[in-house]
A = this chain, B = another copy of it.
Amino acid sequence: MKVIELHRSVTASNDADAEALRAELKKKGTLLINLMSSPGSGKTTLLSRTIQDLKAELKIAVLEADIESAVDAERIEALGARAIQVHTDGMCHMDAGMTREGLEAMGLEEIDLAFLENVGNLICPAEYDTGAGRNVMILSVPEGDDKPLKYPLMFQKSDALVITKMDALDYFGFDLEQCRKRAKHLNPDIEIFPVSAKSGQGMNEWEEWLKKETAAWKE
């Protein structure tokens, strides 16, 4: 497993770096999706199932960002997808310079769809443009339907919201309609995908969206 130790970017403007990276990825035809969530929301499990379902159609790669460990990247690599683990030097988010460094170390040749698994944190990652083509937030049912009230910026910055662990909905008394309403109030354009990687519920809609966005990115 390749592990890259990143260091804080020293460039003046993260926004300019992010725009430049996004333009290069557009030219390459690689859609980069920035996945943001709390720790333990099920990002890696969602990705594992998504990769298994889509790998015959799309070439997928995953950049795993964590403060420590390489457990996530190892899980992804075991599925036969290209993966790299980056360590963020204690940083609570990825910025565009760090994302570029990770992607260059991994290599994007022939990759249609790349995921950046951002550091588990609902606050700081929302403030930094990584250069991704799409931002996706993951909220797991056990976290509760009140999260849009507490972390509004994350919902505002995301193109899609994946609600994971839907199989545990009744157990945790999660109000899906209330959550949907709160998210749409912050961001009327947000696409919402309630899924369970365990039962398979909703995975098809989420994967159709990924295919549609990946095709649109190449146009």
Contact = CB atoms under 8 A, between A and B. Distances in A.
Interface of A: 38-40, 66-69, 71, 90, 92, 119-124, 127, 140, 142-144, 146-147, 149-153, 165, 168, 171
Given A38-B39, A40-B143, A92-B92, A68 B120 contact: no
Interface SS of chain A: loop
A122 B121 contact: yes
Nearest to A70: B149
Contacts of A119: 123
Residue with the greatest number of chain B CB neighbours at <10 A, chosen from A120, A123, A153: A123
Contacts of A152: 67-68
A152 B69 CA distance: 10
A212 B152 CA distance: 39
B38 A40 contact: yes
Contacts of A68: 149-152
Given A39-B143, A39-B150, A67 B171 contact: no
Nearest to A165: B142
Nearest to A149: B69
Contact of A122 (B90, B120, B143, B149): B120
A7 to B, nearest CB: 17
A140 B71 CA distance: 19
Contacts of A127: 90
A150 B92 contact: no
Given A38-B120, A69-B149, 16 more contacts: A38-B39, A38-B40, A40-B140, A40-B143, A69-B150, A71-B146, A119-B123, A120-B122, A120-B151, A123-B124, A140-B142, A142-B142, A142-B165, A142-B168, A168-B171, A171-B171
